[in-house]
Amino acid sequence: MVLAGAGVAVCSAMACCYRIGKESPLNINFTSRNAVAGGLVCALVAVMVLAGCNNSGSSAAASTRSAAPQSVPVAVAAARRMDLPVYLSGLGSVTPSNSVSIRSRVDGQLAEVAFKEGQQVQKGQLLAVIDPRPFEVQLAQAQATLFKDQAQLRDAKLNFQRFQDLLKQSGAVSQQQVDTQGALVDQLDGATRNDEATIASAKLQITYCHITAPITGRIGLRLVDVGNIVHAADANPLLIITQLQPIAVLFSLPEDQLQTVAQHMKAGTLTVEAYSRDDQTKLATGQLGTIDNQIDQTTGTGRLKAMFQNQDSSLWPNQFVNARLLLESKKNAVVVPSAAIQRGPQGTFAYVVKADKTAEVRPVTVSLAQGNLSAISQGLAEGEMVVTDGQDKLKAGMTVDATAANGGRRGAQGGAAPGDGSTSPGSTVPGTPAPGAKAPNGGQPGTDGNSQGRRGKAQ
């Protein structure tokens, strides 16, 4: 209506100026240049009229926006009833159940390597062979010496028997000769026993030449190549075998928590979860084994050991992990995100969104905070909506524009998404911008009476 009236006024002014320039009695003294100047003056007057009309329309739109109730965009989440687990967290490292450094027990040349690096081996499996020929020669020598000493022992025993018979029958020999022959028999018997021990030692050396796996585990990198001379006194091992299934995790907890852990251990087995260094990826689940028998005075912590089956080899020795010890589970607790809990001079409180879309300040009592969740013992009921983001702009009684916390449909400055049926701040019809306001995402408001203006470029 205002624009139509302004157009009529402009047309009237221009017509008037034309008549003045063409039909006035003074036109005799006017030149064509003066006529053009008169037209420009009339156009300037028309522009001033239009500007006044626009200012009046803008003032009216601003008054409409200020009169409309303002809503604060916030993120909300529902209070829900669930079992909240109680964890104790500590930094730990993975420790193998068994780790063996394989060294040679004899001196010799490494003749054969019967394993591959990274291979999973079983207990008793052949790993390497040291040249056994020198020990086989020693075995043959010991067997020959035994054969000779056994022959001497048989002869000494026969003579000892003869001397005893002669002493009893005729006394042709003295008692001293009989005793001396008996001592010779004992000496030769000892020599044969020594030869048998030498043979057993030679056989044992040959056995040591064949190195086998003492445990079941995974072989690391080979540290000695075939053809090298190895010694029993070498500082470096031939290889290292590490048992990965099962595997242990050693982690620390403050000394004040050890008594609580010990009490829960009496009630049953406790579960321990191993997480990655960034505490985001769960690697394995095991059981708490034991608590160390002393506290580290330098750190004021106690060490605990948990065992993991590690069937998928997700844990590796000397790996740093975050250990979470599950103490108990709080049953049927009213739980809200910890971001909803605010703290003030009167204690903890939360903003609750009521059915009429207004915010209420509600004092709450937090019984347990675990990670990003908090258990509420008093102040909230299941299903009530609490504000998790945007509390800094919120006061009691203010109208809120609620958005789900897991994915908002508006930002802090944005209006309602087109076509979602919601009401943007300052508008009077759902999905329709207020008079004079821009459409969402920078578009232009509709001028033909449509509820949706032209959409701007996507941000």
In angstroms, what CA-CA distances link 438 with 12, 254, 399, 414? 33, 58, 22, 11
Q: Are 429 and 415 in contact (CB under 8 A)?
A: no
C-alpha span between 159 and 161 (Å, rounded)? 5
* Tokens encoding 135: 């020990």
Q: Are 163 and 179 in contact (CB under 8 A)?
A: no
* Tokens encoding 85: 């687990």
* Rg, Å, the chain Cα set: 49
Phi (first) and psi of residue 277, to 5 degrees: -65, -35
Which pLDDT does position 411 carry in this prediction? 35
* Tokens encoding 435: 């008079």
C-alpha span between 2 and 52 (Å, rounded)? 10
Q: Is the pTM of the predicted complex or chain greater than 0.85?
A: no
C-alpha span between 19 and 1 (Å, rounded)? 27
* Tokens encoding 75: 């993120």
* Tokens encoding 151: 């022959």
Q: Are 68 and 435 in contact (CB under 8 A)?
A: no
C-alpha span between 248 and 245 (Å, rounded)? 9
Distant-in-sequence contacts of 10-14, Cβ < 8 A, 24+ apart: 10/46, 10/49, 10/50, 13/42, 13/45, 13/46, 13/49, 14/39, 14/42, 14/43, 14/46
CB atoms inside a 10 Å sphere around CB 423: 20
Which pLDDT does position 55 carry in this prediction? 52
Q: Are 20 and 6 in contact (CB under 8 A)?
A: no
The distance of Cα 161 from the centroid of its chain, to the nearest Å, equals 86
C-alpha span between 264 and 302 (Å, rounded)? 16
The distance of Cα 378 from the centroid of its chain, to the nearest Å, equals 33
Q: Can you name the residues that pair with 370 across neighbouring β-strands?
A: 373
Report the relative pairing of strands 120-121 and 239-242 from DSSP bridges. unpaired
Give the three-state DSSP class for 110: strand
CB atoms inside a 10 Å sphere around CB 398: 16
Which pLDDT does position 59 carry in this prediction? 52
Phi (first) and psi of residue 388, to 5 degrees: -110, -15
Which regions of the chain are under pLDDT 70?
1-69, 405-459
Q: Are 259 and 291 in contact (CB under 8 A)?
A: no
